[in-house]
Amino acid sequence: MARRGHDLVLVARDEKRLSDLAAKLSAQYGVTVDVLKADLTLRDDVRAVEKRLREDATIELLVNNAGIGPKGPLLADDLDYLETMIELNVVAVNRLAIAAAQTFSARGKGAIINIASVVALVPERFNGTYNASKAFVLNLTQSIHTEVSGKGVKVQAVLPGLTRTEIFDRAGGSIDRLDPSMVMDVTDLVDAALAGFDQGELVTIPSLPDAADWATFSNARLALSPNLSHDRPAARYGIERAEAV
């Protein structure tokens, strides 16, 4: 984003790391970079970020990126940790994405990029709470898109596969234990995500070789739509229609 000439507001918990990055980006790209320290698992901190988003008219783009991964399968995971994950991956994303959608659509301009994950599409694999948190992000993004389309607001969900970042180390694992042919470099991931954004994609799956596969999947889902709500159960359940009283 800095390379593209955007001034930035960097949000995370580690203020020193944020300040060092801000100084580096300003020096390298000549942009203004502010730091806003916030723990997005804390509701007051999320509200402070929301306030900045609503009140600072220079903000035109929100990237909802912060997220944590699981420590293992559900049966071995700690419920308090999973609830913290929901606060960060779901509650904060929901609040900031909707606040941005409201603010940007009122201004008639803006963009929202939400970082989901390919596990949103494969709940049979990986940790259920994490998968569900990312399915939430995908679903929310698609829904926001429907509401803001025609209001000058661009929306994108990015679905990375395994990506070489700190996320696995932070959750007590290691990316080096994974099949390297499945792990993307983070620079490639971000470049592909931004290329998808430039192409106007609502959903970007950087690893997926053929975009037509996503279209087929989406069309199959939408084809269910006319049959998802009827006034009587399907015949296979053998339910007699209740008589009106």
State which residue, 98 or 175, has the beta carbon closest to ligand NAP: 175
Shortest Cβ distance from residue 116 to ligand NAP (Å)? 7
Shortest Cβ distance from residue 180 to ligand NAP (Å)? 13
State which residue, 90 or 148, has the beta carbon closest to ligand NAP: 90
* Torsional sign, CA 4, 8, 11, 17: positive
State which residue, 59 or 105, has the beta carbon closest to ligand NAP: 59
Shortest Cβ distance from residue 48 to ligand NAP (Å)? 12
Cα separation, 84 vs 34, in Å, equals: 26
Shortest Cβ distance from residue 207 to ligand NAP (Å)? 10
SS3 62: strand
* Chain-centroid distance, C-alpha 191: 16
Whether 87 contacts 133, CB under 8 Å: no
Name the residues that contact ligand NAP, by CB under 6 A.
12-14, 17, 38-41, 65-69, 88, 115, 117, 160, 162-163, 165-167, 170
DSSP state of 58: T
Q: Nearest Cα to 61, choosing from 22, 115, 100? A: 100
State which residue, 151 or 183, has the beta carbon closest to ligand NAP: 183
